[in-house]
Amino acid sequence: MKYYFLLIAFLAITLISCSDDNTTNPPAADPVAYTNADGIKGGMLFDKFWATETGFDQTNANITKLNASADFFRCKQCHAWDLMGRNGSYNNRAPKTTRPNVADRNLRTTASNLTPQALFDAIKKGLGKSRRDISADLSTYDPATNSTIGDQMPDFSKILTDAQIWDIVKFLKTEALDVTKLYDATYSGTYPTGTATYSNIGKDGDATAGNTFYTAKCAICHGADGKQIPNLDGTTGMTVGKFARTKPNELQHKMKFGQLGSSMKATAGTITDFKNLYKALADTTKYPN
Ligand code: HEC
Ligand code: HEC
C-alpha cells in the first residue's frame, strides 16, 4: 500500500515539474498585426473612432447614429482621457440622458496586465461580458430608470476593423501617456460626485526645455502667452495655461494625439517633452489665465 502511495506521489511530482517546464518557455511572439499597428492612430480612435482624421469610412451606415449618440460610443467617455474611468479624473462625470455612466475599470492596469492578443480579444469579443448591439435604441436612455443597455460597452466587432482594434491595443500598451508622470492628483468621494484635485503640474520637469518645446510646437497658433485662440473648449477665458492647470488629464491626450476636428494635429514627443511642457505651462505669469 505504502509503495502505491509513493508511486502516485512520484507521478504527481513529475507531472507538476513538466507543467512548470511548459510555463517557463518563452512567451509567444507578438502578433505581426500588433507589431505593425499605429498607436498614434489608436489614440485618435480612442478619442472618437469615426473622426475623419482616423481614416474611418465616412460612408459607414452608422455615421448618423454615432454622431447623434457620440458619448455612447467614444472610448474616452466611458474610460476617460487618463484611462482610469471613474477611479480617476472622471469620478465626477455624472451620466445624463445624452451620456452613459463612466466605467469602473482602469484600462492602464488592464493594458499592462494583458498580452496584446488578450487585450485585442477583450475589446473585440468582450470575453463573456455583455456587449451592446450597435443598433440599440439610445434615445430612451435615462441614468435613473433605463441605463443598463446604454452603459454597456458597444459590440465593436461589428464596427471596427481588426486593424483599427490593433491600433487601439498599441495605443493602450505603448503610446498612452502615464499621467502619474505628468502631475499629482487626489481623487476623493464616490462616483459620480467625487472630486479630482490636480497639483504639482509638470512634476520634476524642466520649464526651460518646456518653453522651448512650446515655442516650437504650439506658439504659432496659440501665441507666446497661450491666449491667442480665446475661449478654448468653448469656455470663456480659457487659455492654454489655464487648461493645463485645470484639465491636465485631458490636455496630455490632445497634445499627443491632436484636437480632432481642428487644425491642431498630433504633436510628436516623449513623456519627458510633455512633462517639461506641463512644467512650463504651470507658470501663471508666462501663461496667464
Ligand atoms: C458606453 C461605455 C463604453 C464605451 C463607449 C467603451 N467601453 Fe470599454 N468597457 C465599458 C464597461 C462598462 C466595461 C466593463 C465591463 C465589460 O468588460 O464589458 C468595459 C471594459 C473594457 C475593457 C476590458 C477592461 C477590463 O479590465 O476588463 C477594455 C479593454 C475596454 N473596455 C476598452 C474599450 C475601448 C478600446 C473602447 C473604444 C473603442 C471602449 N472600451 C468603449 C464601457 C465602455
Ligand atoms: C496648427 C495650429 C495649432 C497648433 C500647432 C496647436 N494648437 Fe492647440 N488648438 C488649435 C485649435 C484650432 C484648437 C481648437 C480651438 C477650438 O476648438 O475652439 C486648439 C485647441 C487647443 C486646446 C483646447 C482643447 C479643447 O479641449 O478644447 C488646448 C489646451 C491647446 N490647443 C493647446 C495646445 C498646445 C499645448 C499645443 C502644442 C503642443 C497646441 N495646442 C498646438 C490650434 C493649434
Q: Using the mean position of ligand 2's atoms as its centre, give its distance from the Cα of residue 227 in Å.
A: 11
Residue 168 Cβ inside 6 Å of ligand 1? The answer reads yes
Instruction: Please give the Cα distance from 256 to 254 (Å, whole number).
Output: 6
Which residue owns the Cα nearest ligand 1 atom 42?
Answer: 153
Cell numbers 472630486: residue: 195
**pLDDT digit of tens for each residue in the chain (289 aa)?**
445 554 444 444 444 444 444 455 666 789 999 999 999 999 999 999 999 999 999 999 999 999 999 999 999 999 999 999 999 999 999 999 999 999 999 999 999 999 999 999 999 998 889 999 999 999 999 999 999 999 999 999 999 999 999 999 999 999 999 999 999 999 999 999 999 999 999 999 999 999 999 999 999 999 999 999 999 999 999 999 999 999 999 999 999 999 999 999 999 999 999 999 999 999 999 999 9
Three cell numbers written together for 154 = 458597444
Instruction: Please give the Cα distance from 28 to 145 (Å, whole number).
Output: 46
Q: Which ligand is nearest to the CA of 47?
A: 1
Three cell numbers written together for 152 = 454597456
Q: Torsion-angle region of residue 277: left (phi > 0), alpha (psi -120 to 50) or beta?
A: alpha
Residue 279 Cβ inside 6 Å of ligand 2? The answer reads no
Residue 24 is predicted with a pLDDT of 58
Q: Using the mean position of ligand 2's atoms as its centre, give its distance from the Cα of residue 226 in Å.
A: 9
Instruction: Please give the Cα distance from 186 to 88 (Å, whole number).
Output: 8
Residue 4 is predicted with a pLDDT of 56
Instruction: Please give the Cα distance from 284 to 88 (Å, whole number).
Output: 25
The answer to whether 281 touches 244, Cβ cutoff 8 Å, is yes
Residue 127 is predicted with a pLDDT of 80
